[in-house]
A = this chain, B = another copy of it.
Amino acid sequence: MFHHVKELQFNARVSKPDVRFAKLLLEQFGGPNGELKAAMQYFVQAFGCRKPHPDKYDMLMDIATEEFSHLEIVGATIQMLLTGVNGELKNAADESDLTKVLDGKTAKETYIHEAMINPHFFIVSGGTPTLTDSVGNPWSANYIMGMGDLTADLRLNIGAETSAKMVYENLMKFTDDVYVKESLRYLMTREVAHFQMFQAALDSIQPNFPPGILQSDPKYSNKYFNMSKGEDFKGDWNEGKSPLLGEEWQYIDDPLQHVRDTDGLLDERAKGTPRTEESVQTANKKLSAKRKALVDNATAPKNGVMSWSVYEDEEKLKSTEKKENLTNHSINN
């Protein structure tokens, strides 16, 4: 259940209207790396965690709710940057009296020029934010991701925070308004904070590589195919040890010949790795059983009915118990 208070989480302010920056800032209101994307991604992922991972659920909902609050900050800033637009549109009757809209400019020509910056502000939304990116693409749920597995979802969230941080960094170059910059810097910093929260949560789950349950096939996990010829380089990504499995990279310089030699890789063999098909199967079964049991135990219906919430007093009791259980759980997940 959500609540709202009318004060913003951050005291967003604006010096003067600026339709151009309002347009750019839309990127973080309704764009693919923006606040709504983050809020909805964590909110949607959280449903699956509610029962089996209440600690991660708590974190995801804390951050999702903060992102909704940031969405409000961004929207409020855009609204203030658009001051004057709505009032001028209400001045619909008397065209001979076209007075200043923004920043002391007076001519109709200027007014039309402003409208070209983002027609939606002027002829559709009437001077309020639109749920689009900076060029007008409507927000799409294509932007949000979740795989029903925390070792995957937390990594996707790190990606989301990464790109959101970049957009704020870029945006700061396009305004001189110290108040607006102040808000942008706050918002950018919070992405850095969330990044670390997700990283810490990911680290608390072991094993967390590879994401999901199944191990990779040792025949193919450390091959590097040189598919782009000319100016070839070596680096830690194709020589030495792979960073997570610690296998020795195998550089395949001529992939076509290699593929032909191995009957389309069917005859490939594992090399440079201690892992075997047997060790893989063992690991798969062990992790599979453990994770399945965790989910099934937590979500099994009780007394023929499933419910989401326990209200009030029972709540407090249960919460205390849960926290104790969680200590192990986070370590072993």
Contact = CB atoms under 8 A, between A and B. Distances in A.
A138 B140 contact: yes
Interface string A102-119: 000000100110011111
B210 A61 contact: no
Contact of A141 (B132, B171, B294): B132
Given A79-B50, A146-B125, A193-B222, A198 B7 contact: no
Contacts of A20: 112, 116
A257 to B, nearest CB: 9
A206 interface: no
A72 B43 CA distance: 9
B311 A7 contact: yes
Contact of A165 (B127, B169, B211): B211
Nearest to A9: B1
Nearest to A159: B159
A281 B243 contact: no
A294 B25 CA distance: 27
A31, A50, A64, A330: most-surrounded residue (chain B CB, <10 A): A50
B214 A59 contact: no
Contact of A211 (B15, B54, B166, B301): B166
B119 A148 contact: no
B235 A148 contact: no
A8 B308 contact: yes
A137 interface: yes
Interface string A51-69: 0001100110111111011
A173 to B, nearest CB: 7
A260 interface: yes
A237 B75 CA distance: 26
A3 B79 contact: no
A311 B11 contact: yes
Contact of A11 (B79, B212, B266): B266
B123 A170 contact: yes
A179 to B, nearest CB: 6
B139 A136 contact: no
Contacts of A91: 288-289, 292
A275 to B, nearest CB: 11
A77 B309 CA distance: 11
Nearest to A108: B176
A123 B265 contact: no
Contacts of A278: none
Given A142-B32, A196-B244, A159 B165 contact: no
A259 B2 CA distance: 12
Contacts of A3: 2-5, 65, 227-229, 255-256
Given A31-B124, A132-B141, A308 B48 contact: no
A189 B214 CA distance: 9
